[in-house]
Amino acid sequence: MTPSDPASDPDVQLMLRVRGGDAEAFRELFDKHGRSIVNFAYHFVGSRWRAEEIAQDVFLQIYRAAGRYEPTAKFTTWLYRITTNSCLNEVRRPEHRHPRRSLERAPDELGKRAEIAFADPAAVAGDGALAGRQLEAKIHSVLDGLPPNQRAALLMSRVDGMSYLEVAEALETTESAVKSLVFRATATMRKELAEFL
């Protein structure tokens, strides 16, 4: 087997076991990739609870497709293709909103808005923590503004560490297209975050 042979991928071997009805192999795949998929979806859709729902849906799709699974690429390529499509479907929904963390929490049990308790301004890390929250909010805002294909390419390559080839396979495009998407997304991020750099 060559390194590019999908059959040499340990995750493909696990998925082939899932295809054969091995529930423990499915649990191993979920334990190994579940958190990464939630994080990817969170950066894409901006809502932790929705990201968790997307991840559950992705693994449900994988489980349901197990009987038809054929290893034509690395497992993660297939996994991220499904995840990206789910995220794209989510952001295309008319009711989709970008509920980023504001300076308020969700309504409490009585329906009132609960205010976030800020750290003591005299604390040593107070200014740094506030700056960190501002930077995080700005990053999410800029990510939300990127075209979905740029956002997906940037997150897969820079956050999840996938190669351009893997991203290209997941997005069903070419490596050069991925390089262009990442370049444009990075340029936008640099421009929009200049005040923090």
Residue 196, Cβ density class (10 Å: 0-12 exposed, 13-18 middle, ≥19 buried): exposed
pLDDT value, residue 119 = 42
In this structure, what token pair is assigned to residue 185?
A: 């997304």
pLDDT value, residue 138 = 80
pLDDT value, residue 161 = 86
Distance CA 109, CA 117 (A): 18
- Nearest to residue 55, comparing CAs of 38, 67, 32? 38
pLDDT value, residue 103 = 32
Q: What is the CATH number of domain 1-94?
A: 1.10.1740.10
In this prediction the pTM is 0.70
pLDDT value, residue 3 = 47
pLDDT value, residue 2 = 41
CATH class assigned to 127-197: mainly alpha
DSSP string, 72-125: SS-HHHHHHHHHHHHHHHHHHSTT-------SEEEE-TTSPEEEPPPPPTTSTT
pLDDT value, residue 106 = 38
pLDDT value, residue 108 = 38
Q: In tens digits, what is the pLDDT along the chain, a chain of 197 residues? A: 344 677 788 999 999 999 999 999 999 999 999 999 999 999 888 889 999 999 999 999 999 999 999 998 899 999 999 999 999 888 887 655 444 433 333 333 334 333 333 344 444 455 556 666 777 778 878 888 899 899 999 999 988 888 999 999 888 899 999 999 999 999 998 888 887 76
pLDDT value, residue 143 = 85
**Taking the domains of the chain in order of start, what are their residue ranges?**
1-94, 127-197
